[in-house]
């Protein structure tokens, strides 16, 4: 009675959302093999359309976290080697594809898949600003020292020019730390020999070129003393109106602002925290927010980078939602239903509360398809899902097991109490007119119910008992509700 949904088709539909994004994005397995890549990534890596799936990111010099390790959210600067042998500097950020965990803020990974975003920063690299999360092999001793002891280190390094020639350049490196005061990476500044140390005007010129929003505010009163053009665009105000305003005015959530302040206490900082800000018109947008403390010309300041994360966050939420929903009816698919129902079963066991399950099957559904066509049959299934939702409580869990079979978990309800609800659903569906090419028709449904039995009962056993009751309802003539009884 319980059929599996086609998870592969669901993922394919979900991943197609990535194709409209302007930055390179792909979905990779734990092994690094690419499952899906959008057109922007094909163009960035110099590949023909459709040429990336099945290949490994390692072929292009891009490294991802190993399977089973935590995903690092901050973007990593890497050199990507394109299909034609040329290379570009990119930042690589990755996140686990997660499925919502009922009642929990955090989700869990979907089959080990990860979402990898590759952003072209080659032009920024050529301007003399680079960010390395890990040092090159030849510089590992220096990086290890900086990460352990802090401070800065300057030395000469060869720098490859666009024409393939090399020159000597001055590289200054410094370690930065995350909100837990743990080493988070190395910040480097590359200058031609003889370049003076950046003064105030030069620093502003560098920050102005950043494709990410940058603001500088005084630590003593929080007044903004500098913003770049990108920051002004994100807020939606001219730069002159932003100068002198307080940084606190642009936080949407005061609790998030307090988390940032906690990270800044005792000389700390915040790295790629998800923070929601508001534009001048009051509309919200999500950011990856990094802020560190600095001293510029004797003034103690907070130096903040704001990366607009709204589109990526919306895309991730859409992917999570699409991965959990039945594409035909919009209700939970079998896997998501089972996950959420198990959580409710565990809660019922923990608090010694009742819980019941009912399985609903549309009567003579094959006849509907044969008579009116599969398109009308699909419409009928969508109407059944909507009809169930119209009767069920907001916290009841409705899912499609497959075909014309639906399943409902009713937390806090005994089998007898569920029978009342199931009868209302059955009557509602029987009265519902369904459009067909030659007019309208009506359908009926049979429902089997089973209640939770003891502290060791499982969801699978409860659904099996509801299935046996469903068989009884169909045997007795269909269009009826039956409750499981021993001996069925």
252: left (phi over 0), alpha (psi -120 to 50) or beta: alpha
The DSSP 8-state label assigned to residue 195 in this structure reads P
Q: Which helix (H) or strand (E) holds 301?
A: strand 299-308
Q: Final residue of a domain: which of 313, 335, 364?
A: 313
141 within domain boundaries: no
- Looking at the fold, whether 286 and 427 belong to one and the same domain comes out as no
| Tokens found for residue 301 | 């300041």
Q: Which helix (H) or strand (E) holds 407?
A: strand 405-411
- Looking at the fold, whether 445 and 344 belong to one and the same domain comes out as yes
- Looking at the fold, whether 101 and 222 belong to one and the same domain comes out as no
- Looking at the fold, whether 294 and 351 belong to one and the same domain comes out as no
Strands (E), 52-182: 76-81, 87-99, 108-120, 129-132, 152-160, 166-177
376 within domain boundaries: yes
Cα(342)–Cα(459) distance, integer angstroms? 6
C-alpha atoms less than 13 angstroms from C-alpha of 398 in its C-beta half-sphere: 20
- Looking at the fold, whether 100 and 231 belong to one and the same domain comes out as no
Cα(313)–Cα(21) distance, integer angstroms? 12
- Looking at the fold, whether 336 and 475 belong to one and the same domain comes out as yes
* Contact between 199 and 217 (Cβ < 8 Å): no
- Looking at the fold, whether 377 and 308 belong to one and the same domain comes out as no
Strand 270-278 to strand 76-81: parallel, antiparallel, or no bridges (unpaired)?
unpaired
Reduced to 3 states (helix: H, G, I; strand: E, B; else coil), residue 344 is helix
Cα(383)–Cα(381) distance, integer angstroms? 5
pLDDT of residue 130: 43
* Contact between 357 and 409 (Cβ < 8 Å): yes
363 within domain boundaries: yes
Domain count, the chain: 3
269 within domain boundaries: yes
142 within domain boundaries: no
The DSSP 8-state label assigned to residue 396 in this structure reads S
- Looking at the fold, whether 308 and 353 belong to one and the same domain comes out as no
| Residue 342 burial class via C-beta count within 10 angstroms: exposed 0-12, middle 13-18, buried 19 and up | middle
- Looking at the fold, whether 338 and 472 belong to one and the same domain comes out as yes
Cα(394)–Cα(391) distance, integer angstroms? 9
- Looking at the fold, whether 91 and 220 belong to one and the same domain comes out as no
pLDDT of residue 188: 54
The DSSP 8-state label assigned to residue 198 in this structure reads P
Residue 10, domain CATH:
3.30.450.20
* pLDDT, tens only, 37-62: 999 899 999 999 999 999 988 888 88
* pLDDT, tens only, 91-138: 787 777 655 455 544 444 456 778 888 888 776 555 444 444 333 334
Distances, alpha carbon 103 to alpha carbons 95, 112, 156, 342, 446, in Å: 21, 22, 54, 12, 31
Q: What is the residue whose two structure tokens read 């991802």? A: 64
pTM score of the predicted model: 0.43
| Tokens found for residue 381 | 């299934």
Q: Final residue of a domain: which of 71, 86, 120?
A: 120
Digitized pLDDT (tens) for each residue of the chain, 488 residues in all: 333 344 555 566 667 767 777 778 888 887 888 988 999 899 999 999 999 999 988 888 887 655 444 434 445 667 888 988 888 888 787 777 655 455 544 444 456 778 888 888 776 555 444 444 333 334 445 555 655 665 556 555 555 544 445 555 565 655 555 445 565 555 555 555 544 444 556 667 767 777 788 899 998 888 999 999 899 999 999 999 999 999 888 898 888 888 888 888 877 788 888 889 999 998 988 888 888 888 877 788 888 888 888 777 777 677 777 778 898 999 999 999 999 999 999 999 999 999 999 999 999 999 999 999 999 999 999 999 999 999 999 999 999 998 999 999 999 999 999 999 999 999 999 999 999 988 999 999 999 999 999 989 999 999 999 999 999 999 999 999 999 998 87
- Looking at the fold, whether 360 and 436 belong to one and the same domain comes out as yes
Residues in CB range of 163: below 8 A, 6 or more apart: none
- Looking at the fold, whether 357 and 297 belong to one and the same domain comes out as no
183 within domain boundaries: no
List, edge to edge, every strand of the sheet that includes 397-402. 397-402, 405-411, 355-362, 445-451, 481-483
Structural domain including 355 reads: 327-483
152 within domain boundaries: no
pLDDT of residue 181: 58
147 within domain boundaries: no
pLDDT of residue 132: 42
Residue 441, domain CATH:
3.30.70.270
Q: Final residue of a domain: which of 91, 120, 149?
A: 120
Classify each residue of 358-372 as buried b or exposed e, where b means 16 or more C-beta atoms within 10 Å of its C-beta.
Answer: bbbbbbebeebbeeb
């Amino acid at each position: 009675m319980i059929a599996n949904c086609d998870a592969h088709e669901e993922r394919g539909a979900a991943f197609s959302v990535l194709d409209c994004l302007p930055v390179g994005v792909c979905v990779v397995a734990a092994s690094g093999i690419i499952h899906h890549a959008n057109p922007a990534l094909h163009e960035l890596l110099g590949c023909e359309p459709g040429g990336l799936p099945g290949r490994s990111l390692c072929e292009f010099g891009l490294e991802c976290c190993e399977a089973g390790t935590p995903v690092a959210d901050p973007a990593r600067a890497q050199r990507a080697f394109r299909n034609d042998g040329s290379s570009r500097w990119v930042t690589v950020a990755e996140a686990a594809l997660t499925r919502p965990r009922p009642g929990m803020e955090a989700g869990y990974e979907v089959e080990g898949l990860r979402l990898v975003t590759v952003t072209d920063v080659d032009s920024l690299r050529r301007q003399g600003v680079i960010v390395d999360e890990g040092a090159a092999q030849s510089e590992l001793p220096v990086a290890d020292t900086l990460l352990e002891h802090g401070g800065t280190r300057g030395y000469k390094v060869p720098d490859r020019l666009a024409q393939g020639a090399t020159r000597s350049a001055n590289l200054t490196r410094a370690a930065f730390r995350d909100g837990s005061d743990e080493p988070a990476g190395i910040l480097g500044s590359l200058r031609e020999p003889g370049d003076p140390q950046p003064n105030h005007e030069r620093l502003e010129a560098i920050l102005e070129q950043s494709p990410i929003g940058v603001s500088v505010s005084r630590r003593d009163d929080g007044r903004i003393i500098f913003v770049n053009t990108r920051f002004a665009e994100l807020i939606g105000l001219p730069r002159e109106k932003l100068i002198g305003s307080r940084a606190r005015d642009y936080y949407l959530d005061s609790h998030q602002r307090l988390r940032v302040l906690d990270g800044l206490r005792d000389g700390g900082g915040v790295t790629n925290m998800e923070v929601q800000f508001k534009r001048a018109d009051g509309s919200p947008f999500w950011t990856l927010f990094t802020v560190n403390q600095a001293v510029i010309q004797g003034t103690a300041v907070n130096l903040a980078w704001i990366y607009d994360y709204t589109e990526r966050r919306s895309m991730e939420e859409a992917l999570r939602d699409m991965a959990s929903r039945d594409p035909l009816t919009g209700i939970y698919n079998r896997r998501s239903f089972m996950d959420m129902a198990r959580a409710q079963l565990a809660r019922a066991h923990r608090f010694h509360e009742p819980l019941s399950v009912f399985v609903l099957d549309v009567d003579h559904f094959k006849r509907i398809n044969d008579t009116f066509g599969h398109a009308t049959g699909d419409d009928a299934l969508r109407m059944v899902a909507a009809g169930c939702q119209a009767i069920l409580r907001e916290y009841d869990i409705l899912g499609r097991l497959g075909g014309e079979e639906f399943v409902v978990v009713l937390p806090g309800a005994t089998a007898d109490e569920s029978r009342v609800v199931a009868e209302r659903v059955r009557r509602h569906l029987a009265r519902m007119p369904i459009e067909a090419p030659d007019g309208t028709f009506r359908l009926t449904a049979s429902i089997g119910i089973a209640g939770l039995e003891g502290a060791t009962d499982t969801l699978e056993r409860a659904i099996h008992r509801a299935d046996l009751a469903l068989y009884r309802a169909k045997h007795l003539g269909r269009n009826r509700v039956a409750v499981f009884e021993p001996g069925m």
